[in-house]
Amino acid sequence: MNKFFLYISIFFISTLAIHAQSDTCKNSLYGKIIDEHDRKPLEFASVYIVELAKGAVSDNKGRYKIEDICNGIYTVKISHIGCESLQSKIIVKGKTNQNFYPEHHAEILKDIEITAQKLVEQTTQTKNDVSEEKLNQSKGQSLGESLKSITGVNSLNTGNSISKPIIHGMHSNRILILNNGVRQEGQQWGVEHAPEIDPFTANKLSVIKGANSVRYGSDAIAGVVIVESKPLRDSAGINGEVNLVGMTNGKAGTASAYLEGNFNRLKAFSWRVQGTLKQTGTVSAPNYILVNTGLRESNFSYTLGWKKKKYGAEIFYSQFNTTLGIFGASHIGNITDLNTAFKSPVPLETGPFTYKIGRPYQNIEHELFKAKMYIVTGVKGKLSVTYARQYNLRNEYDKHKPLNDSLAALNKPELQFELTTHSADIIWEHNQVKHFTGSIGFSGLTQGNTYEGRALIPNFRNYNGGIFWIERWRRNKFELEAGIRYDYKRLQVYKYQYVSYATYQLVTPVHTFENVSGNVGAIYKPGSNINLAFNLGTAWRAPSVSELYSYGLHHGAAAIEYGDNTLKSERTYNGIFTLRYTPSKRITIEVSPYLHYVNNFIYRQPATVPVVTIRGAFPAFYYKQTDATLKGCDFYLNYKFTNSIELTGKASILRAWNNTENNWLIMMPSDRYESEITYRFKNYKKLNSSYLSASVLYVTKQWRVPANSDFVAPPSEYYTFNIHGSCSIKIKNQNIELGVSVFNLLNKTYRDYLDRFRYFTDAMGRNITFRIKVPFNINLKSK
């Protein structure tokens, strides 16, 4: 504890000590504001630099200029009547030319900033963004952890290294992840299969809550997670960024960097390359080390873009590679030891710190290739076409090698899945016509899965097709939105069925599903300080192959799973109401109650007793179906006491009911409350954007569960304290951003109900994270 305060003192004292004489600061930012669609200059557009509180207005040719600026990185906001507001980070070095391209007609509902927490796109569906500040604080963590700063979003964890987002109590196949405009397709059916995405590729993370199947396709019955990269550079020059992250728990280290550019001789062409390396050793709970919890990760991506006035194209490729250990004490040899592990406050297996990853472990590779082009269709709108190919390879290794020495020498995985997906989307967006804007589109997908080793899930072919139409109407204080979509799915399974002793027969059952999704919503703005939004939607989801056909031991989950091939499609009816009220410049209040009624809700029901196999004793789960009601409310409050001090409060409340059995629904998040106070220091010479914040998270005990429905009773309530600090220092002409975060400051011992390994171990203890970000810029002078 004393060392921690020493680290913090050294950090802030050193930053305050680094000052030098101020520069002349005679640089400038200039360029044009141009309509994204028809490429016409926009007059009277506002360009505003947040950090400097200064700006300019564009002239009749769309030109703007802001002078007397120091070299550095600034947040620039662009707004224009009838346009979607833009916000981006700009590097100023010397006389910097930067054009901006707001959409003047297609997006009728603009972004409104909620300070220090999120940006809400004012559509009828609730959209929340992870603020840049929170995104920086989560550097080096998983995508699921990065999203937890959004109210109403939790995570389903399998130990420290696997985290999946939960929206209003629903996860996995009920949440669609849109990665760089492409629907992420991996083995997401597994509760311990985290999204194969490098968070360092994201410039923006957003969550749309509620049924969103109309625009994004079936399965998005809980919501959509949108992972967006920053736009490619459109002015001559080369810039980049280096991020270094170190963590005390697990002695983890992460290095990530990107480099991007544009050239005067070929202004239409832009490019970016990016890569990340990460390694973590065995992590620690407050009182012991969690054996075999190390992780190695290596990722890279590149983007190529070609942008002209009337058309453009983009190619994106990314590869995600990770090897992660599965907590060794979760694999137990017999029923007696398993019951002992359930009751023990300490895992039955502990060990020293190491970077070595042993059995059981997972090895995962995910590739994404995307090709997109668009063309402006006269004054009517824009047509875009996207093709994507994804390849997912997952190897899972058991704790023990085969008893046969020759087989053991091969060190083959006990489970191997290869999933290849091809998808295409064609979308036409039309410009405003008599207060209407909208889009119509078609999407198609074909998917094949093969396995080697034991048949946890069978081989299959999956075919999907859908068509949608969305229209938006806006006039004065009212905005209306409506959409409809039709989807068809065909799943063919290839599996061997037991006939008699040593005799199996290949069977190829076919499952077909089709249905319609729809939504209608409205926004009413009775005044400048109040906003009311309401959305009603209905969506559906076909059961996944794992829910239909799982049979056997799932190593990563340390559980045995049994599917049911008679399961039907889920159908949800969803309503979300959002009230945003700003009675003054210092107060922002947002309240968002919601209701989901789900027919044929699929869930995993724990068996009454564990199951013993030749590989050990494991908890068993059966896939079942019921009618369910999930209702709750998300709260958000931000109050600025002064320009330097602000308080933020958040709360998420959920009640999930099993209508068929007239009881509580199992494995649902408990209530969460969080408050944070932040102090922002004034800029002083070469020290900028400094802040220090402290927060407390309180999670209640989940007592709303059926009696005797799980192997272990839900854990007790808990609270954790966290602190964050950051500043930007200019050394000569180079900006360096430094940050520190402390998670679980008091090293609290607790177990979370949504952690799959809570049966065996406490959650991770105190973790101090140090961050360094070094942006750089190289301007290329035209000859």
Q: What angle do CA 283, 226, 257 make, to 5 degrees?
A: 55
Q: Band of the pLDDT at 131, cuts 50, 70, 90? A: confident
| Among the ranges given (9-23, 182-196, 500-514), the one the predictor scored with the smallest mean pLDDT | 9-23
For the segment 107-124, the average pLDDT, to the nearest whole number, is: 35
| Among the ranges given (44-58, 139-153, 521-535), the one the predictor scored with the smallest mean pLDDT | 44-58
For the segment 702-713, the average pLDDT, to the nearest whole number, is: 90
Question: Which of 518-544 are b and which e, b meaning 16 or more Cβ less than 10 Å from the residue's Cβ?
Answer: bbbbbbebeeeeebebebbbbbbbbbb
**More confident call, 83 vs 435:** 435
Check whether 77 has a pLDDT greater than 80. yes
Question: How far apart are the C-alpha atoms of 482 and 498, rounded to whole Å?
Answer: 50
Each residue's pLDDT tens digit, 566-607: 999 999 999 999 999 999 889 999 999 999 999 999 998 888
Cβ(318)–Cβ(299) below 8 Å: yes
pLDDT at residue 107 in the model: 35
3-class DSSP state of 146: helix
Q: Band of the pLDDT at 557, cuts 50, 70, 90? A: low
Handedness of CA 578, 195, 186, 422 (dihedral sign): positive
Nearest by Cα to 771 from 373, 70, 144, 248: 248
pLDDT at residue 21 in the model: 31
Check whether 353 has a pLDDT greater than 80. yes
Token pair listed for 583 = 């009675």
pLDDT at residue 10 in the model: 38
Contacts of 702 (CB under 8 A, 6+ apart): 668, 669, 670, 714, 753
Each residue's pLDDT tens digit, 676-691: 999 999 888 888 889 9
Q: Band of the pLDDT at 111, cuts 50, 70, 90? A: very low
Question: How far apart are the C-alpha atoms of 136 and 141, rounded to whole Å?
Answer: 10
Task: Characterize the bridge pairing of strands 118-121 and 530-541.
Answer: unpaired
pLDDT at residue 731 in the model: 85
pLDDT at residue 120 in the model: 32
Burial status of residue 234 (CB atoms within 10 A of its CB: 0-12, 13-18, 19 or more): middle
Please state the separation of Cα 611 from the chain's center in Å.
35
Nearest by Cα to 233 from 198, 258, 255: 258
Q: Band of the pLDDT at 3, cuts 50, 70, 90? A: very low
Residue for token digits 């400048």? 528
**More confident call, 328 vs 21:** 328
Question: How far apart are the C-alpha atoms of 447 and 452, rounded to whole Å?
Answer: 17
What distances in angstroms separate CA 323 from CA 294, 355, 569, one per listed residue?
8, 12, 34
**More confident call, 596 vs 409:** 596
Query: If phi over 0 gives left and psi between -120 and 50 gives alpha, with beta otherwise, what is residue 340?
Result: alpha
Amino acid letter for position 101:
Y
Cβ(7)–Cβ(1) below 8 Å: no
Please state the separation of Cα 365 from the chain's center in Å.
18
Each residue's pLDDT tens digit, 214-250: 888 888 888 899 999 989 988 888 999 999 999 999 9
Check whether 4 has a pLDDT greater than 50. no
Check whether 117 has a pLDDT greater than 70. no
For the segment 452-462, the average pLDDT, to the nearest whole number, is: 89
Any bridge partners for residue 516, and if so which?
A: 486
For the segment 501-505, the average pLDDT, to the nearest whole number, is: 82
For the segment 630-651, the average pLDDT, to the nearest whole number, is: 95
pLDDT at residue 108 in the model: 32
DSSP track, 23-65: P---EEEEEEBB-TTT--B-TT-EEEETTTTEEEE--TTSEEE
Check whether 271 has a pLDDT greater than 60. yes
Cβ(487)–Cβ(514) below 8 Å: yes
Amino acid letter for position 8:
I
Each residue's pLDDT tens digit, 306-352: 999 899 999 999 999 999 998 888 877 788 888 888 889 999 888 99
For the segment 525-530, the average pLDDT, to the nearest whole number, is: 86
Largest distance between two CA atoms of the chain: 87
Question: Which of 579-608 are b and which e, b meaning 16 or more Cβ less than 10 Å from the residue's Cβ?
Answer: ebebeeeeebbbebebbbbbbbbbbbbbee
What's domain 2-110's superfamily in CATH? Carboxypeptidase-like, regulatory domain (2.60.40.1120)
For the segment 15-38, the average pLDDT, to the nearest whole number, is: 62
Check whether 414 has a pLDDT greater than 60. yes
Check whether 780 has a pLDDT greater than 70. no
Q: What angle do CA 369, 372, 378 make, to 5 degrees?
A: 180
Asked whether the whole model's pTM tops 0.75, one would answer yes
Check whether 755 has a pLDDT greater than 60. yes
Cβ(400)–Cβ(359) below 8 Å: yes
For the segment 148-156, the average pLDDT, to the nearest whole number, is: 86
Check whether 555 has a pLDDT greater than 70. no
Q: What integer best gives the mean pLDDT of the chain?
A: 86
Cβ(112)–Cβ(533) below 8 Å: no
For the segment 753-775, the average pLDDT, to the nearest whole number, is: 93
Cis peptide preceding 610, ω within 30 of 0: no
pLDDT at residue 93 in the model: 80
Contacts of 743 (CB under 8 A, 6+ apart): 720, 722, 766, 767, 768, 769
Q: Band of the pLDDT at 171, cuts 50, 70, 90? A: confident
Cβ(304)–Cβ(314) below 8 Å: yes
3-class DSSP state of 354: coil
pLDDT at residue 23 in the model: 43
Q: How many helices (H) and strands (E) does the chain have?
A: 7, 44
pLDDT at residue 743 in the model: 95
3-class DSSP state of 147: helix
pLDDT at residue 750 in the model: 96
Dihedrals φ, ψ of 9, to 5°? -60, -45
Cβ(423)–Cβ(439) below 8 Å: no
Handedness of CA 402, 407, 409, 414 (dihedral sign): negative
Residue for token digits 């979003």? 153
For the segment 77-106, the average pLDDT, to the nearest whole number, is: 76
Of the chain, the percentage scoring pLDDT greater than 90 comes to 52
Check whether 756 has a pLDDT greater than 90. no
Q: Band of the pLDDT at 94, cuts 50, 70, 90? A: confident
Of the chain, the percentage scoring pLDDT greater than 70 comes to 91
3-class DSSP state of 336: helix
Question: How far apart are the C-alpha atoms of 612 and 616, rounded to whole Å?
Answer: 6
CATH assignment, 225-778: 2.40.170.20
Check whether 118 has a pLDDT greater than 80. no
pLDDT at residue 156 in the model: 83
Task: Characterize the bridge pairing of strands 127-129 and 530-541.
Answer: unpaired
Question: DSSP class of residue 343?
Answer: H
Cβ(742)–Cβ(726) below 8 Å: no
Handedness of CA 196, 198, 202, 208 (dihedral sign): positive
For the segment 146-158, the average pLDDT, to the nearest whole number, is: 86
Question: How far apart are the C-alpha atoms of 275 and 290, rounded to whole Å?
Answer: 29
State the CB neighbour count (10 A cutoff) for residue 278.
19
pLDDT at residue 783 in the model: 43
For the segment 623-645, the average pLDDT, to the nearest whole number, is: 95
Token pair listed for 406 = 């020759």
Question: Where are the chain's structural domains?
Answer: 2-110, 225-778
Query: If phi over 0 gives left and psi between -120 and 50 gives alpha, with beta otherwise, what is residue 116?
Result: left
Nearest by Cα to 688 from 696, 679, 680: 680
State the CB neighbour count (10 A cutoff) for residue 269.
14
Alpha-helical (H) ranges within 109-187 are 132-137, 143-146
Nearest by Cα to 134 from 229, 189, 230, 199: 199
Any bridge partners for residue 441, and if so which?
A: 427, 468
**More confident call, 379 vs 471:** 471
Check whether 492 has a pLDDT greater than 90. yes
Question: How far apart are the C-alpha atoms of 485 and 475, rounded to whole Å?
Answer: 25
Q: What angle do CA 513, 183, 316 make, to 5 degrees?
A: 145
Q: What angle do CA 465, 214, 671 make, to 5 degrees?
A: 120
Query: If phi over 0 gives left and psi between -120 and 50 gives alpha, with beta otherwise, what is residue 293?
Result: alpha
Q: Is residue 213 within a helix (H) or strand (E), and if so which, with residue range? A: helix 213-216
Fold equal for 2-110 and 225-778:
no
For the segment 692-720, the average pLDDT, to the nearest whole number, is: 93
Check whether 82 has a pLDDT greater than 80. no
pLDDT at residue 35 in the model: 78
pLDDT at residue 191 in the model: 66
